[in-house]
Amino acid sequence: MRFRVTSRKTAGTAPTAQPASPSRSSWNRSRAMADVSPLLDRLRQTLATMEDVCIGCGSCLNRCELLEGCSWNLAALCAESRAALDGASTLDDVRRAMAKHRQLYRQIRLCAGCDRCTARCPQDLSMTDLWRPWRELLRDAGFILDADVALVEVDRVWNTFSVFRHLQGVRYDDLPVLHIAPIDAAETPDDPDADIALPPSAETLFFPGCTLSAYAPELTRMALAWLEEHEGPCLLSTQCCAWPLECVGEMRRAISWRERIVAAARERGVKRIVTVCPGCEKQLAAAAATVAPDMEFFSLARLMLDAGVQVSAHAFDGCPLPMTVVDSCNDRAGKHGPAVRELLAAVESRPFPCTGIDAWCCGAGGNVVSFDGRMPRQRTCRTFELGDAIGARTVVSACPTCAYTYAFERWMDARDANQHWGHMQNVNYLEVVFGRRINWPAIFNALVDMWNGEQAEWVAKRLMP
């Protein structure tokens, strides 16, 4: 995700050609003393398993611009990884390996973790099974810096989302919020949520995700009210699913945070979790398999469709038609996108060419922006290019983070006076369901002011290591 914009010059930084030496001043020194052997063993075991299963068919090669660009399939990537780790037993060994295997380093940093490359693998291999331990290793070795992690520490009191909500006065105290104590709550005296009361029991938890709950509080409230009307009493979670933490290599913290969320929901009697963001559902469902295997998950779009909700063309006032619905890369199983299409069936549309199992990343995945400011925007522009090619004028997303990302590109496009996408719009489907638009330009300007305005010093103290 793109959280920090200070000027046009910083919006699209040049890609890093080679791994920079980790900055000791911005790297958690305790990691230097950590025993990296278990992680190296796990990564080597993953490589051995993949190389044993992979048949080298190359089906992944043409499904990703990164693999295609260097003519690597998964087998070649595994072989390069194995060669890089040959003889490595310490973090210093890993650093030397990355300096030598620069193309491999770039692949790991530029990968969005979307799994499109292996989504049609005949052997059911998954790129993220390799990507996760590699990202964790790069974090331990200091290539992913504390400054990158600090912005997305969603298991702590202060992160980009909580700071924005605090400064904008976004509160949900009047609602039955399922609060999860951050890992640093005891040492953070200015925690604004410290006094949130334990909510009553309920069988349904609404999990809108970090983007919707931070940047679209009105839509969050409308969606919760609709759920309570149709499903009965609900709890609200304003937490993040910790995917951003995973992207910066903090795997153990991400898993722990998700499991705490699901466990807390179970303790309050929750039997089902309703999501808007496909990524949230994917991450929480994985956690539930461990701590609450009977937990059910539903997409809000599907519940609305089952309740008879239909959206008319009038709901798109201000948005040019035809529209097209773009799937999230986390929705390869089709639990959200198809329902959104049915909700909008009465509206003039064009079928997007890459959906379901073939969906591309919107550009937000993998925290790639902290390494290369251009690649995420190229991925975002691909969606607009594909939509423009089929004659669509409004891009509709099921995922709020996709909506954020597409809106950010349009905002940057206008700021840079390019106007490549001035003829196109984008919305999240809830905006047309409830007739309430998200004012993205105001949000992005507020994010800029957050870092450059009167409160910049206060923000820096809470978000920078």
pLDDT single digits (tens) 100-156: 999 999 999 999 999 999 999 999 999 999 999 999 999 999 999 999 999 999 999
Q: Which domains does the chain have, with CATH numbers?
A: 15-144 (no CATH), 160-306 (1.20.1050), 313-434 (3.40.50)
How many Å separate Cα 80 from the centre of its chain? 28
Percentage of the chain beyond pLDDT 90 is: 89
Over 90: is that where the pLDDT of 16 sits? no
The pLDDT of residue 24 is 33
Structure confidence at residue 33 as a pLDDT band (50, 70, 90): low
DSSP string, 375-441: HHHHHHHHHHHHHHHTT--EEEESSHHHHHHHHHHHHHHHHTT--TTTT-EEEEHHHHHHT----HH
Average pLDDT over residues 14-33: 44
Question: What CA–CA distance (Å, rounded) separates 1 from 405?
Answer: 7
Average pLDDT over residues 378-396: 98
Question: What CA–CA distance (Å, rounded) separates 135 from 75?
Answer: 19
Question: What CA–CA distance (Å, rounded) separates 399 from 280?
Answer: 9
The pLDDT of residue 465 is 80
Question: What CA–CA distance (Å, rounded) separates 36 from 27?
Answer: 16
Average pLDDT over residues 298-327: 98
Q: How do residues 188-215 score in pLDDT, each as one tens digit?
A: 999 999 888 888 999 999 999 999 999 9
pTM: 0.93
Lowest-confidence segment of 22-26, 53-57, 63-67, 441-445 by average pLDDT? 22-26
Structure confidence at residue 416 as a pLDDT band (50, 70, 90): confident
Lowest-confidence segment of 26-30, 95-99, 328-332, 356-360 by average pLDDT? 26-30
Structure confidence at residue 21 as a pLDDT band (50, 70, 90): very low
CB-count exposure of residue 362 (10 Å: 0-12, 13-18, 19+):
buried
Average pLDDT over residues 220-249: 98
User: What is the 3 state secondary structure string of 211-280?
Assistant: HHHHHCHHHHHHHHHHHHHHHCCEEECCCCCCHHHHHCCCHHHHHHHHHHHHHHHHHCCCCEEEECCHHH
Structure confidence at residue 224 as a pLDDT band (50, 70, 90): very high
The pLDDT of residue 18 is 44
Over 80: is that where the pLDDT of 377 sits? yes
- Largest separation between any pair of C-alpha atoms in the chain: 64
Non-local CB neighbours of 236 within 8 Å, separated by 6+ positions: 172, 175, 176, 177, 178, 205, 206, 208, 220, 224
The pLDDT of residue 17 is 37
Mean pLDDT over all residues of the chain? 93
